[in-house]
Structure 1
Amino acid sequence: MKRIYDFGRNPAQRNYTVTDLKALKGSDRKLSMSNPADRDQITACVDAGIDLFVVGTDQMEDVRELAPTHFAGAGSTWAQFGSDDEIVAHAFEAMRRGADMYYTLRSFDVMECMAREGIPVQSHIGLIPTFSHHYGGLRAFGRTSEEAMQVWERLKRMEDVGVFAVEVECLAEEVLLAINDKTSVVTFSLGSGMGGDAIFSFVADVCGEASEEEKPPKHAHAFGDVGRLHKQIHEERVAALGEFHREVVDGNFPYAPTNIGMKPDEKDKFLDALEGWTPTHQ
Structure 2
Amino acid sequence: MNDRTPFGEQNPAYGHLHFYFKIPRSIDRKMNIAAIRKRKNSSEKIIMLTCYDYSTALLLDSLGVDLLLVGDSLGMVMLGYDSTVPVTMEEMLHHCKAVSRGAKNSLVVGDMPFLSYQISNEEAIKNAGRFLKEAGCDAVKLEGGIEVADKISAMVKAGIPVMGHVGLTPQTASSLGGYKVQGKDLDSAKKLLLDAKAVEEAGAFSVVLECVPAPLAALITEKISIPTIGIGAGPECDGQVLVTHDLLGMFEKFTPSFVKKYANLAPIIKDAINNFIEDVKNDNFPDDDHSFSGNSEVIEKLKWGK
**TM-score range relative to shorter protein:** 0.7 to 0.9
* CA positional deviation for 1:53: 1.0
Q: Equivalent residue for 2:229? A: 188
Q: Equivalent residue for 1:170? A: 211
Q: Equivalent residue for 1:19? A: 34
SS in 2 for 1:188: strand
Q: Equivalent residue for 1:149? A: 190
Name the CA distance, whole Å, in 1 between partners of 2:124 and 2:282. 51
* CA positional deviation for 1:170: 0.7
Q: Equivalent residue for 1:225? A: 264
* CA positional deviation for 1:202: 1.0
Residue 94 of structure 2 is aligned to residue 58 of structure 1: yes
Deviations 1:240-263 (A, max 9, x none): 56557xxxxxxxxxxxx99x9964
Deviations 1:26-75 (A, max 9, x none): 22221211012212211221233322211244344444433212112113
Residue 240 of structure 2 is aligned to residue 239 of structure 1: no
Q: Equivalent residue for 2:14? A: none
Give the TM-score normalised by the residue count of structure 1.
0.76
Deviates more, 1:170-179 or 1:22-31: 22-31
Name the CA distance, whole Å, in 2 between partners of 1:76 and 1:113. 15
Q: Equivalent residue for 1:108? A: 149
Q: Pick one of 51, 55, 73 that aligns with 2:109.
A: 73
Deviations 1:116-172 (A, max 9, x none): 212111121111121111111110112223221110011112222222222111100
Name the CA distance, whole Å, in 1 between partners of 2:269 and 2:159. 43
Name the CA distance, whole Å, in 1 between partners of 2:251 and 2:111. 25
SS in 2 for 1:175: helix
SS in 2 for 1:229: helix
* CA positional deviation for 1:237: 4.3
Residues matched between the structures, number: 246
Quickly say closer, same or farther: Cα 1:76–1:14, change in 2 above 3 A: farther
Quickly say closer, same or farther: Cα 1:236–1:114, change in 2 above 3 A: same
Name the CA distance, whole Å, in 1 between partners of 2:236 and 2:40. 10
Higher helix residue share: 1
SS in 2 for 1:194: coil
Deviations 1:202-236 (A, max 9, x none): 1111111133xx34111111111211222213323
Q: Equivalent residue for 2:83? A: none
Where do 1:33-52 residues align within 5 Å? 33-52=48-67
What's the C-alpha RMSD, in Å, of the aligned pairs?
2.9
Name the CA distance, whole Å, in 2 between partners of 1:215 and 1:68. 31
SS in 2 for 1:195: coil
SS in 1 for 2:204: coil
* AA aligned opposite 1:167: V
Quickly say closer, same or farther: Cα 1:21–1:81, change in 2 above 3 A: closer
SS in 1 for 2:235: helix
* AA aligned opposite 1:206: L
Name the CA distance, whole Å, in 1 between partners of 2:276 and 2:118. 43
* CA positional deviation for 1:23: 1.9
* CA positional deviation for 1:83: 4.2
Quickly say closer, same or farther: Cα 1:105–1:262, change in 2 above 3 A: same
Q: Equivalent residue for 1:99? A: 137
In 2, are the aligned partners of 1:75 and 1:91 still within 8 Å (CA)? no
In 1, are the aligned partners of 2:249 and 2:262 still within 8 Å (CA)? yes
Name the CA distance, whole Å, in 2 between partners of 1:147 and 1:263. 77
Quickly say closer, same or farther: Cα 1:112–1:266, change in 2 above 3 A: closer
**Percent of pairs with identical residues:** 20
Name the CA distance, whole Å, in 2 between partners of 1:200 and 1:121. 16
In 2, are the aligned partners of 1:140 and 1:171 still within 8 Å (CA)? yes
In 1, are the aligned partners of 2:54 and 2:101 still within 8 Å (CA)? no
Q: Equivalent residue for 1:125? A: 166
In 2, are the aligned partners of 1:208 and 1:227 still within 8 Å (CA)? yes
Quickly say closer, same or farther: Cα 1:268–1:173, change in 2 above 3 A: closer
